[in-house]
Every structure is written in C-alpha cells, then in structure tokens.
Structure 1
C-alpha cells in the first residue's frame, strides 16, 4: 500500500479460486431457501403461508445484503464505481425492498416471489460478467452460477405452490 497526500494506492493479487470462507458463506445462506421451499410444500395448507412469508423475508434480506456487496466492491474498483455497478446495486435494492413491501405489508406473496426471483436471476447473470470486467471478485464468475440457482429454484418452488393454492 502506498499513501500520499492525495490518497492511497492499493496493489493486490486476486485469486480465481473461490476461497473456502466464501464457499461456506456462499452456499450456507442458500440452505434456508431450500428449507423454506421444502417446509412450505410439506406443510401445504397449514403453515405454508407463514413459511413462505419467512422465506420471503429472508430472501429480501439476502438480496439487500448482496446489493450492499455490489456497492462495497465498487469502492475498490479500479477507476472508481462504474455505471453498471451502481445500476445493479440500485436494481437489487429496489427488488429486495419491493419484495418486503409487497410480501409483508400488502400480503402479495406471489409478487414478492417474482421480485426475488428476478433479483437472484440478475445476480446469477450479472455477477459473472462483472467478475470478468473487474467489477467484482474473480471467483464470482465460478461461484454465482452454482450458488444462486439454489435460491432461484427454491423460490420458483414456492411460487408454484402459491399459484396452485386456492387461497
């Protein structure tokens, strides 16, 4: 690290391999999505509304967290934040917050699930692109396409349950 009167210069080397801690904190948080989908299908009619609501809350929290990750990474992007980073961060934030509003306040779980699915699909597609462009860690290119579909498939399973439900 070099410091001068105008700022700081960082020289780093970034591995392509996914660090073990990122494996743990990448795949571990996907398990509540699977548990939520399995639990809602198992408790059809009895507790599926509550289980789905908790899963929506959790999914919105994760999506909001990932919008913050995108913003945080932009602070260390060579040349400063890019338009794509800021747009992605805002889009993820709006989808996560929108899912909270529609799912919790309005009780429209199908719309909330649609918003979460859109947000996680965006991450699965955009994070590998951002990694190749130097706007996200290199290992996102390998991690996100394997990690994020776990959440997407779980949310789709919940959406199918909601669409099949007579309530």
Structure 2
C-alpha cells in the first residue's frame, strides 16, 4: 500500500477459489431459509405462520445486507463506483425494503415474490459483476450455488401462502 497527500494506492490479489470463511458465512445464513420453509410446511397453523413471518424477515435482512455489500464493494472499485453497481445496490435495497413493508402489512406472498426477485438478481448479476471486476472474483462461483437455496426456500413459502 502506498499512501501520500493525494490518496492511497492499493494492490489486491483476489483468489478465484471461494475462501473457506466465505463458504461458512455464505451458506450459514442460508440455513434459516431451509429450516423456516420446512417448519412452515410441517407445523401449520399459528406456528407455521410464525415460521413464514420469521423466515421472510430473515430473508429481508440478508437481502438488505447484500445491498450494503454491493455498495461497500463499489467504494473499492478502480475508478469509482459504476452505474451498474449503484443500480444493483438500489434494486436490492428497494426489493428488500419493499419485502419488509409487505411483511409488516400482512402481505407474505408479495414479500416472498419481492425476495425471490432480489435473490434472483444476486444469482445473475453477482457473477457478471465478479467477471467485470465490480465484485469479488469468487462471487462468480459462490452466488450461483448459494442463491438457489434461498430462492427455492422462498418459492416453497410462496406456494404455501398462496394455498392458504
């Protein structure tokens, strides 16, 4: 690292392989999606509805976190944040916050639909951003495997809610 009066120059080496900590921190937060969907389908009634609500709130929190990750990464993009980075961050934030509002208004199905769209965007756009140097390189390998866990779990909730 070089630091002078005008700024700082960083040299970074990113691995293509997914670091072990990113595997743990990437898939650990996906477990509540699976557990919540399974509980909602298995328990039914009030406990099942509580599982739906808690799982949707968890999914909102994680999607809003991903929005912040995209913004944070943009601070270290060579040449500054790109339009794609800012647009992706805003889209994820709007979908995550919209899903949160939908839960608060008792619209679980709408919340699940917003969240499925958001996690679908992450699955598609993060690998593209990784190849363009706008996100960590290992996102190209992690996100296509990680995001389907959330999407399938949320789709199971959407089906359950639609049937009720």
TM-score by length of 1: 0.97
Other-structure match for 2:137: 138
Other-structure match for 1:50: 50
Other-structure match for 1:124: 123
5+ residue gaps, structure 1: none
Other-structure match for 1:68: 68
Q: Does the residue aligned with 1:81 lie in a helix, a strand or coil?
A: coil
Deviation >4 Å, runs of 4+: none
Other-structure match for 2:112: 113
Following TM superposition, by how much is the alpha carbon of 1:45 offset from its aligned partner in structure 2, in angstroms? 2.7
Following TM superposition, by how much is the alpha carbon of 1:49 offset from its aligned partner in structure 2, in angstroms? 1.5
Name the count of aligned residue pairs: 164
Following TM superposition, by how much is the alpha carbon of 1:123 offset from its aligned partner in structure 2, in angstroms? 0.2
Following TM superposition, by how much is the alpha carbon of 1:161 offset from its aligned partner in structure 2, in angstroms? 0.5
Other-structure match for 2:22: 22
Q: Does the residue aligned with 2:45 lie in a helix, a strand or coil?
A: coil
5+ residue gaps, structure 2: none
Q: CA RMSD in A?
A: 0.7
TM-score by length of 2: 0.98
Aligned mates of 2:49, 2:29 — CA distance in 1: 21
